[in-house]
Structure 1
């Protein structure tokens, strides 16, 4: 019994690309259950035909999707079935979790939409494929049975994450060559699932309660990766590292074992103080990613973010003081934004002067509280999922493609993007002039966005 695990393609306008380490964890679990597994990352390939050509023949395929690439997954499923005959195809991810029956209704080549975490449900589907016992009553999914779409009960979440195996990094790398700017493939690690916070726009709300691995189990995996691959750079890919005791526990384990590693993570600003940052730096933390979203306190409160602008500013000051690099995420064009809130956010971003940046346009995830808010007010212009995850650096019409925005908000977004991008890339170009070796510190992502910036300004002049 062979299971194909496929990562659906990401569009060219997403800001950055990282290897799907969660698929490597799933692969390890399925192998532990006795199944053969193959992994193909469609994000590194062009088109369904190439994805299927690079995949082994299998009995069951499972495709990880977000919201924007569900139709790509259906095309991959179609080509798989043309090649492999009776193969069954499942999808999992945010959209199948939120709208499992709709996913199957709109994508005729997909047989199962798995809700929340996939391990137990996919293993049961694989077992039923093997013994021919049928798929009625498989909890944790919607299924296409005798031409009808049926949704079954949710499956309980896995409580003991420590019992799950390490990610199968060799299998992930076997057919997938990742560019060097993403950092060592082997160094991506998950320490938890879900999120303890309740930001009303976040897809983490779809995936159940927060659970975490023990610090010792996390560092056991890190230690094995160091021994097996010689990697000394790690990225913790949790929604957010929390709580404080969990972070400190991991730091203590790293230092107790004498591991000389460098690592990056995402943490909320309301957890940060000088003691925590000091311990993190001592344990090898060199960069922290912070979700700021907005500089308008009213907007933050409307998002149920649970942080203050003062906490943001203090956190960035402490990071500069201790020599920890920062990455700042802001989210613009949401239903609570005004021209003034957007100006304030760009002003704050420039004052913070982060080392790296991620600037995204708001779009609502189905079944989140903010989706309901936008639907009730008629703000959502389309439910064509391929239009989601737009990026105005690549696409000049992206600002209000999904959500209705006023002309004043759109003008402020354009003005702010131009202002911020100019300062952001001027900073890196000045560093390159002073030290050409800085090129090795600037990810290819930044170079790509520099080209986008030139195109953005050029397009603006033409349209103006």
Structure 2
């Protein structure tokens, strides 16, 4: 009889997005795919495990509804993909679900990897936490391997002592290629219409072609300091990626765009990918994350290869702040990139950050003004989250510059004022005449398909408090 595992992203509050690089309650109803948990599920199925897959926040499932589904499945194991905001709730629900089913449990994911000892110390029924990549450790647990022999695993022994095994090397190309296509797994287990990204044609599909960031130095990034540590970028073969894109075009005809969720799609990999994609004759538009230092020639090649939208961390207009957070780019270089991208016919989704060390009312205003100058197609103005385990967090903690919720709060610029500035930035950007002109030029995409988004976002940026 096959081993049975329930892979669960637990319920929390409405519109909670656990699957993003930094979890938050979405202003726009955005939901990304649970791609890391999905890859784990695909790997377990390949190993002969019967899988139940639940993404409760995206599916709108309550605690009771999730419990009913898991109990009916009668799992041997439950894999919990935990969050930062939801950590306490996830711990309580794991105790409840393991008690109700008699299943063993394990916590996984980037947030569980911030301080895995602390995570495990808060758990009762769950005895295991994986620090870092978790497909292989989870599979080995389910297959009955001695916990003491499983790399990346933290576990509680019979005497209650927490034990930590050495980290295993990150998955390399052959191992990443061996994971079945996550899009095929999602086709089987999820409804693609559940997932939405404001910057992408709907419905869309997320894929991952590599893990880690080749730059890997930014002081605020959760992933490079806790999950895929250091400047490392381990990738699937381009042939494997192209084959998955062929699968999506053929087997998921309702999908209108692809989002490559690699932390940073690098110039050399972009070049190889674009040439392979052109040769393959693929048609589905695609988007990706990249640094704002790609050459004009690369941007033009991306456009020819079907690129639609580039997600770019512009962060701040202040060069001093950019240097403080080790961004490795200047405002001038990123402005030139934005001009080149627009000239190539590419859209930009700009990520702007508020609350880094050195932030003042003047630098924050300069960042908003800069966003209006370079005019990305869509933008977000993030109140930065100092994740424990990052140099950004350590710097603020040492100086007492964190509020009670763990957000930046400086002697002359409180977290409440930073939130107010963030809301003002959204209002200025999305109520600007240039955005209304964009709406008139693309009415279906920016108006009719986003009515629900506006009903959610307007209260959030005018009178509601952000959920922290």
TM-score (norm 1): 0.86
Aligned residues: 433
Aligned-residue offset at 1:407: 4.6
Counterpart in the other structure of 2:26: 14
Counterpart in the other structure of 2:5: 3
Aligned-residue offset at 1:313: 0.8
What pairs up with 1:403-422 in 2 under 5 angstroms? 403-408=408-413, 411=417, 414-415=420-421, 417-422=423-428
- Asked if 2 retains the 8 angstrom alpha-carbon contact of 1:328 and 1:357, the reply is yes
- 1:36 to 1:221, Cα distance in 2 relative to 1, 3 A: same
In structure 2, C-alpha distance between the alignment counterparts of 1:211 and 1:204, rounded to whole Å: 14
Counterpart in the other structure of 1:233: 257
- Asked if 1 retains the 8 angstrom alpha-carbon contact of 2:321 and 2:357, the reply is no
- Asked if 2 retains the 8 angstrom alpha-carbon contact of 1:265 and 1:289, the reply is yes
What pairs up with 1:37-436 in 2 under 5 angstroms? 37-43=51-57, 44-55=59-70, 56-85=73-102, 87-128=103-144, 135-146=147-158, 147-160=160-173, 161-167=176-182, 169-171=184-186, 174=189, 178-179=193-194, 181-182=196-197, 187-197=205-215, 198-205=217-224, 206=226, 207-208=228-229, 209-230=232-253, 231-242=255-266, 244-270=267-293, 272-382=294-404, 387=405, 402-408=407-413, 411=417, 414-415=420-421, 417-427=423-433, 428-429=435-436, 431-432=438-439, 436=443
- Asked if 2 retains the 8 angstrom alpha-carbon contact of 1:25 and 1:165, the reply is yes
Q: Report the more deviating stretch, 206-215 or 261-270.
A: 206-215
In structure 2, C-alpha distance between the alignment counterparts of 1:185 and 1:89, rounded to whole Å: 33
In structure 2, C-alpha distance between the alignment counterparts of 1:247 and 1:361, rounded to whole Å: 30
Aligned-residue offset at 1:72: 2.6
In structure 1, C-alpha distance between the alignment counterparts of 2:90 and 2:336, rounded to whole Å: 43
In structure 2, C-alpha distance between the alignment counterparts of 1:379 and 1:36, rounded to whole Å: 47
Aligned-residue offset at 1:164: 2.4
- Asked if 2 retains the 8 angstrom alpha-carbon contact of 1:329 and 1:357, the reply is yes
Aligned-residue offset at 1:250: 1.0
- 1:277 to 1:426, Cα distance in 2 relative to 1, 3 A: same
Aligned-residue offset at 1:77: 1.1
Aligned-residue offset at 1:265: 0.9
Listed as ranges, the gaps of 5+ residues in structure 1 are 388-400, 460-464
CA-based RMSD of the aligned residues comes to 2.5
- 1:436 to 1:259, Cα distance in 2 relative to 1, 3 A: closer
In structure 1, C-alpha distance between the alignment counterparts of 2:304 and 2:68, rounded to whole Å: 47
1:30 alignment partner, SS class: helix
In structure 2, C-alpha distance between the alignment counterparts of 1:354 and 1:50, rounded to whole Å: 40
Q: Report the more deviating stretch, 442-451 or 87-96.
A: 442-451
TM-score (norm 2): 0.85
